[in-house]
Structure 1
Amino acid sequence: MDVMLELLDRDCIVAGLTDAARAGLSQLEVYPVLDSTNSYLLSKVHEDWPSGSVCLAEQQQAGRGRQGRSWLSPFAAGLAGSLLWRFPVSAAALSGLSLATGIAVARTLRQIGVTEVGLKWPNDVWWRGRKLGGILLESGGKAGAFYVVAGVGLNVALPKSQAIAIDQPWVDLAEILGVDRLSRNSLAALLISELIETFARFQHSGFTDLAAEWACFDRVAGQPVRLNLPNTPVIGTARGVDATGALLLETADGRITPYIGGEISLRIAR
């Protein structure tokens, strides 16, 4: 199916924001090509760019996922963007923010009709076991002045000739929705609105209020999993997450241990 895609238009996106998101948006920049929207906003942190700064790019030439993985980003074939947020707290208070970001993405996808969207802890967006999108949070600062740049990448209509480079099962919105035209501007407005409203809520309440909603999207709970830790893998059964967003893993001896993000990677055991 040939999918017609519109180019991103800043004014159109701003017009589509919710009132709360428009109030929380400090600035929105849209570029044809960037190395990485995350890298771009990270370079602006020390220029005192405020919370609510958003950057979108039609194409990323060096898009990144977790643990240094590359993220395929053909021109106008996906949606790639990042949000800068400053938190007047310590890093420890932000546990679960990656999961909260995933919830914002899942809410967005449900609004456009993706009924079977799921989340794989801590930051993959799935549909029927295939990867639809990913999330990358990068942060820094000190207690009382901590910043986070949250990057989101979604597959909208990937050219099959380029998608062969993806090393795992994948899917895009064109296939899921079965349409030949997708409004990336409407999608961007919905996503930015959800991200800004979710981050504002998280700043006041943390992840505790979102844990129950995470369970609705969790596609790992109850599955046998393998956690590849820096020194040794751990095998067990996923039992959801706790109030901090840590993965709860039950091992063969019946003990349940929480594991927080960082460089932990998760693979569903086969």
Structure 2
Amino acid sequence: MDRQIALIRLLADGEVHSGEAIAAHLGITRAAVWKALRKAAERFGLVLESVRGRGYRLAQPLELLERERLLAAMSEQGRARLARLDIHDQIDSTNAWLMREAAAGAPSATLCLAEQQSAGRGRRGRTWVSPFGVNLYGSLLWRSPLAPAALGASSLVAGVVVAEQLAALGVEDVTLKWPNDVLWQRRKLAGLLLEVAGESQGPSHLVVGIGINLRMAADQGAAIDQPWVTLAEALPGALEGVRNALAGRLAEALLEALADYERAGLGPFLARWERFDSLRGQPVALHLGERVIRGRYAGIEDDGALRLETTEGVRRFQAGEVSLRPVVEEER
């Protein structure tokens, strides 16, 4: 572990730590402590406070990812399904890293998590803002005998899993927006990015990337170009232990869901999706590049396609580069 990471792990509890204690922990001189603190704060985008006569602390405590706590949140069966777990302090993108590892032969059920991403990605080329230690960023590798095209609706399956796990935590009014946005009061709480590669007739490998806003401050999310919200707002009360527990439970539920999807397709998930589908029957606008198609959203089909009632009849659309927006948002 490098010195700056060691320092942040020491300060993560939010308590005041004396300069002497920090120096002893890092094996440096007392005079070098402030320089080490400043460099660590700059590297990870964190705010440090100096408490006169007592020492230093983080302005906001952090729940850092811990293998033991994550695995403890999973059942024995879930832990047995998980083939490999990699936790990174900093990474370009959990999806990009896992796609590289998949090409190098990483086993199915490999889970990659990170405290911070320098090049996190969302759908349609968006950047996924990824400050250190305050949100959840992770990707799961799934190998399948199916062709890549047969895995197209897996984004809907993953969205159902995320929504169900958030609801199980106690988040009320969590909703899904086709194909894979997770919202709370029309603001984005979580998003997914799925990438698939393989032979045209199979086998394939799928990487499911999930990002969930947990405690991100307004200034940390200033670059986000759409309304967003954090779990701290959607679920008032203490979030102690939630980050690791949620990561473990999501991984277990997603592994089970992907196995079910591979065996039975999207059908068993349609009713589960509809539980969170708040837009059904509402006027919407579909954006396909520069084109905008308006109609009434009529739900999804067995293959994951969106059904849109238009003046020309019912039309169906696959996810791809399509963006769905409620008409109320178009009129703002």
Q: TM-score, normalised by structure 2?
A: 0.78
**Deviation for aligned residue 1:230:** 4.0
Which residue pairs with 1:200 in the alignment?
259
Which residue pairs with 1:223 in the alignment?
282
Q: Of the candidates 71, 78, 86, which is equivalent to residue 14 of structure 1?
A: 71
Q: Deviations over 1:44-91 (max 9, x none)?
A: 112111110000001111100001100111101100000000110112
**Deviation for aligned residue 1:17:** 1.1
User: How far apart, CA to CA, are the structure 2 residues paired with 1:140 and 1:120?
Assistant: 25
What amino acid sits opposite 1:260 in the alignment? Q
1:235 aligns with 2:290: no
Contact 1:95 1:207 in 2 (8 A): no
Decide which structure has greater strand share: 1
After TM superposition, the structure 1 stretch with the greater mean CA deviation from structure 2, 20-29 or 58-67, is: 20-29
User: How far apart, CA to CA, are the structure 2 residues paired with 1:31 and 1:189?
Assistant: 16
1:245 aligns with 2:245: no
State the secondary structure of the residue aligned to 2:106: coil
Contact 1:235 1:251 in 2 (8 A): yes
Q: Which runs of 5+ in 2 are unaligned?
A: 1-58
Seen in structure 2, the aligned counterparts of structure 1 residues 116 and 264 have a Cα distance that, compared at 3 Å, is: same
Seen in structure 2, the aligned counterparts of structure 1 residues 3 and 121 have a Cα distance that, compared at 3 Å, is: farther
Q: Of the candidates 93, 96, 99, which is equivalent to residue 150 of structure 2?
A: 93
Contact 1:102 1:125 in 2 (8 A): yes
Q: Deviations over 1:177-209 (max 9, x none)?
A: 122433211111111111111111111111111
Q: Deviations over 1:219-254 (max 9, x none)?
A: 22112111112463211110110111111100024x
User: How far apart, CA to CA, are the structure 2 residues paired with 1:106 and 1:194?
Assistant: 11
**Deviation for aligned residue 1:166:** 1.7
After TM superposition, the structure 1 stretch with the greater mean CA deviation from structure 2, 126-135 or 228-237, is: 228-237
Indicate the structure whose relative CO is greater, using CA pairs within 8 Å and at least 6 residues apart: 1
Contact 1:224 1:235 in 2 (8 A): yes
Q: Which runs of 5+ in 1 are unaligned?
A: none
Q: Whose radius of gyration is greater, 1 or 2?
A: 2
Alignment of 1:49-128 (within 5 A): 49-128=106-185
1:178 aligns with 2:243: no
Which residue pairs with 1:259 in the alignment?
317
Q: What is the percentage of aligned positions where both structures have the same residue?
A: 44
1:5 aligns with 2:62: yes
Which residue pairs with 1:25 in the alignment?
82
Which residue pairs with 2:100 in the alignment?
43
Which residue pairs with 1:167 in the alignment?
225
User: How far apart, CA to CA, are the structure 2 residues paired with 1:14 and 1:243?
Assistant: 34
State the secondary structure of the residue aligned to 2:259: helix
